[in-house]
Amino acid sequence: MVYLTFDDGPHPVYTPLLLDVLSRYGVRATFFVIGARAERYPDVIQRIVSEGHTLANHTWSHEDLATLTRAEFDETVGRTQDLLGDHAAPCIRPPYGSTNEFTEGWAAAHGLRVVLWTASANAWAGLAAPTVAGRLLEGITDGSIVLMHPNAETVQAVEIVLDRLSGRGIKYEPVCEMAEPSLPPVLPG
């Protein structure tokens, strides 16, 4: 089982392209969306949901949760949850993976579980698609939660990775489902 996740969207161009690739391979994923971007691109949000993927909270405007007061935390997380409504899965991914001693408890007060990642291609760092794909292929193991971002390199890399791994019996599911099982937070590493 591998869990593909995409942060910082929805992007009006790259998220639909990623959805096209995921559809070709019958793969479902979790999209950790920024509330302000979700508000701006409701058609992309609707497509994510209609194609069987899950939506999860990535704050309203990509705030560093470890630096926020409780009121600021509640505002950014609550506003995003309200926007996503019934489509929101019970998970949150802190931007930058940044947490403090309050993050899990404050998230739990919103009914959310903190989900980080176990593998990342760092595609946001301007790496070429073959490099991104190579990093993904090296980092993916059973149970991996893979962090990616919607950009041109990621679209190409996901196509390469899914093509190379097809036929190997790997299942891809969203890490955050609507009826969430009782799982501990996942830490990067």
Catalytic residues: 7, 149
CA distance 37 to 22: 21
In the sheet that holds 3-9, the strands lie side by side as 113-114, 88-92, 54-57, 30-33, 3-9, 145-148, 119-120
- Do you know the residue count of the chain? 189
Strand partners for 88: 55
Helix (H) or strand (E) holding 101: none
CA distance 92 to 116: 8
| Residue 60 near residue 76, CB atoms below 8 Å | yes
CA distance 142 to 140: 7
